[in-house]
Structures are given as structure tokens and as C-alpha cells.
Structure 1
Amino acid sequence: MAKQSKDGSPPQLKDPDLYEELRDQGNSKEKAARISNAKANPDMQPSQAGGKSPPYEEWTKEDLYNRAKEIPIEGRSDMSKDELIKALRDH
């Protein structure tokens, strides 16, 4: 889950278009926000080497389950492949 600001509001995205593009590519909300905000900051130069994993739709259900276990996502053992993808993206 993305961190909230001190007043409890969600963090502000500095590049919402890039955020949406990264989400469409299968990145989690947290990772997409982190990358889009870093790229929008002229003092930061995030690496282009990351993000080379195939989209979740190309992963096997077992690989999705193992990733959900690492995070950990509760209820993963009862989830279908589509449900695992959604849970990983929503994390």
C-alpha cells in the first residue's frame, strides 16, 4: 500500500501520465508512484535497467502465487490467476 502523507492524505503524483503507463505495464501502485515521481524530479535519474519483467499476464499462476507469498498477500491460495494479478497490482 502506498504511504500516506503526515496528514493522512495520499501522496501526490508528480507525473500522473507516467504513473498510469507504468500501472498498465503491470507495476504495483507503490512502484509506479515511486518511479514516476523520481523521473519527474530533475535531481534524480532513475535507472532504465529496471522494469524489464514481462507483464503479469505472461507469468504462470505458480510464479504469481510465489510473488504474492513474498509480499505477503493474504488469501492468495484461494485466488485465480486473474485475482492474483489484481492483488499484486493493487498492492
Structure 2
Amino acid sequence: MARSHGPSIKDDETYEALRDDGYSKGTAARIANAKANPDMHPSKKGGKSPPYESWTKDDLYDRAAELGIEGRSSMNKDDLIKALRDSR
């Protein structure tokens, strides 16, 4: 049985499974909470954003800032893409 992670996690079993798969605590919490919300459908195909390779460096930097990626100011475009993909 899944242990309780408190009121901030709405689906403890999904949260634990995602953490076991290597997802960060924040990402696992967002996905678990979305799956617990009947108005959201996180198991369906995601958004329609273009691949990171077609983003500008400034756009990648802004996204890295949103996610709180450390060291982003010294990263080149390839480093930003890798950091964003690794932040899952």
C-alpha cells in the first residue's frame, strides 16, 4: 500500500511509482495530482510545443529559469536543452 505523502499529494501510489522511475519530487507531484483531478488527462498525448532544438537560446533560458535550473546563465543552447530534458 502506498504511504501517505500528506495533503499536497493527491495520488500517493502514482507519486511513488513516478519517483521510482526517476522523476523529481516536483514533477512526480504535478503528474500525480493531475491524474487525481478528473478534469485533467495527463495520460493523453502532451502539448504541441516544438522540440527544444527549434527554440531560441533565449526561450530555452527563460524555460530553465521557470524551472529553477542552476547554472543556466553560463550554459550554451545544447547545455540548456540537456538540462531541461534532465529536469523531468
* TM-score normalised to structure 1 length: 0.50
Q: 1:12 to 1:67 in 2, by over 3 A?
A: same
1:86 match? 82
**Where in structure 1 do 4 or more consecutive aligned residues deviate above 2 Å?**
10-13, 47-50
Q: Which residue of 1 aligns with 2:24?
A: none
Aligned residue pair count: 65
Report the AA paired with residue 66 of structure 2. E
What do the CA deviations read for 1:47-68 (whole angstroms, capped 9, x no partner)? 6474211111111111000001
Offset, 1:11: 3.8
Please provide the CA RMSD for this pair.
3.6
Q: Which has the larger radius of gyration?
A: 2
CA–CA distance in structure 1, aligned partners of residues 79 and 52 of structure 2: 11
| Match of residue 66, structure 2, among 59, 70, 79 | 70
Identity of aligned residues (%): 56
Q: Where do 5+ consecutive residues of structure 2 fail to align?
A: 6-14, 22-26
TM-score (norm 2): 0.52
